[in-house]
Structures are given as C-alpha cells and as structure tokens.
Amino acid sequence: MKHSHATALQRRAEDLVCWTVSERIRFLWYRLCLTVQQIVYANGRMMEWEMGLTPPDRPPPAARSGNALNAG
C-alpha cells in the first residue's frame, strides 16, 4: 500500500529530526494559518461567484476568436 509506505517514510524522517516543543507549535500554528487563509479565500470567491460579481472562468471574447489584433 502506498499510504502505509508513505507513513512509514514520514515516521522515519520524523525520527531523524528532533523538534523542540516550541518548533512543533510554531509549525502547527503556521499550517493552521495557511489552512484558514485558503478557506477564507475560497469562501470569498464562492460568495463573489454566487452573487454574480465575477464571470465564470473563460477567456475574453477577443481571445476566443483566435485573433486578438482584430478585437478593436
């Protein structure tokens, strides 16, 4: 199984590196902050999309026609 193999490698790597308690807390806090930032960003984008403030992801009309020089 790939998961158990990856977990075994992670545990082996953790055994090679000794972290202090403050380093562990700092790392976990940093990871938590990143996760929260991602959730806030995704929620904001969904709210904008649901309210119709942003168009769906597609190229502008000039790029769709294949010739951006004749767009003007």
pLDDT at residue 37, rounded to an integer: 95
Summarised one tens digit per residue, pLDDT across range 6-65 is: 778 877 777 777 889 999 899 999 999 999 999 999 998 888 888 887 766 665 566 555
Distance linking the first and last C-alpha atoms of the chain:
57
Annotated domain spans of the chain:
19-53
Distance, in Å, from the CA atom of 14 to the CA atom of 12, rounded to the nearest integer, reads 5
Confidence of residue 72 (pLDDT cuts 50, 70, 90): very low
Give the predicted TM-score (pTM) of the model: 0.49
Exposure on the CB side of residue 49, measured as CA atoms within 13 A: 8
